[in-house]
Amino acid sequence: MTDRTRHPEKAHRPDNEIARKPPWIRVKAPVSAGYLRTRDTIAKHRLVTVCQEAACPNVGECWSRGHATFMILGDICTRGCTFCNVATGKPDAPDQFEPARVADAVVKLGLSHVVVTSVDRDDLIDGGAEFFVRTIRAIRRKSPSTTIEILTPDFLRCDPAVVHGIVDAKPDVFNHNLETVPALYPSVRPGARYFTSLRLLQLVKERDPNLFTKSGLMVGLGESRQEVLQVMDDLRVAGVDFLTIGQYLQPSSKHHRLARFVHPDEFVAYEQTARGKGFLMVSASPLTRSSYHADEDFRQLRKAREKMSATI
């Protein structure tokens, strides 16, 4: 293990310079008509997207195709994860009309598949679970044919039963990202707990075994390959169907230090190993993000389950 892995607190040295991106990381600037249309629709409905707040490298491609990941419950997070570019502070009260506006934007953009996420809201007794339920129901009313993927926080300080309401609202995919390996949680996700996140995914499967579950990891934070493989095993024990693995990109010099750029060949190896461990679907590449190509991935996920069912 590197010294940076052994001593994660060193990730915040004053000279925490951002490494130059290799060729396989660079993306084109967003300029297409489709991008502008998506941007204008989001602005008109006064919505927040994780694409903007987290400075996603795929925003140009996704918005050009009319795809966006809506972020509900505002744009201020109550956590201070060192990898994340979303602002931290004291958030405003939830906007009661937000679920309806998200549904209107889904209709306007003609989305066949939508991803809804949120900031952490530790200030709310249910962590914002009710707003996920309301948003799912609003989309179902206004766009019944749209499939819905949710990417939730961990609801760490809530009664575990809050997740039951979300599951019972019947999203098509329930996603919660572990983000990194357990040893790096104190430096990367200091407000979270690895086994709480893992248990959340397990609770979803216990509530509805037919609901697709999904989780994601970043690599390049200082983890070892063996640690990543152990997380894969943990996720399979929790019944997770779909795993995404992408490259961590350091947003600024104030964020967790990038340990290294992982070569594309290593992502191929991770994907092959994950498939061998039994995941129905795996997406692993430098630019993979939780909602990247989510619509096509969901179609493949359903096909994979149908194929598996046909062989039983």
134-157 pLDDT, tens digit each? 999 999 999 999 999 999 999 999
Q: What is the three-class DSSP state of 131?
A: helix
Residue 8 is assigned to a structural domain of this protein: no
Tokens for 217? 């990891």
Rounded to whole angstroms, what are the CA distances from 21 to 84, 248, 264, 286? 18, 11, 13, 11
Residue 6 lies in a domain: no
Q: HSE (CB half, 13 Å, CA atoms) of 259?
A: 24
Mean pLDDT, all residues of the chain: 86
At residue 99, the 3 state secondary structure works out as: helix
4: in domain? no
pLDDT of 183 over the 70 cut: yes
Is residue 283 in a domain?
Answer: yes
Report the CATH number that the domain containing residue 296 is assigned in CATH.
3.20.20.70
Q: Would you say residue 1 lies in a domain?
A: no
Q: What is the pTM of this model?
A: 0.85
Euclidean distance between CA atoms 227 and 215, whole angstroms: 16
Residues linked to residue 149 through DSSP beta bridges, in sequence order: 115, 173
Give the domain extent around 143.
Answer: 26-311
Q: How far is CA 235 from the centre of its chain?
A: 15
Asked if residue 211 is part of any domain, the answer here is yes
Rounded-to-integer distance, Cα 56 and Cα 151, Å: 15
How many structural domains comprise the chain? 1
pLDDT tens column, 90-123: 999 999 999 999 999 899 888 889 999 999 999 9
Residue 5 is predicted with a pLDDT of 36
Is 3 among the domain residues? no
Maximal C-alpha separation, the chain? 57
Is 5 strand, coil or helix?
A: helix
Whether 104 maps to a domain, the answer reads yes
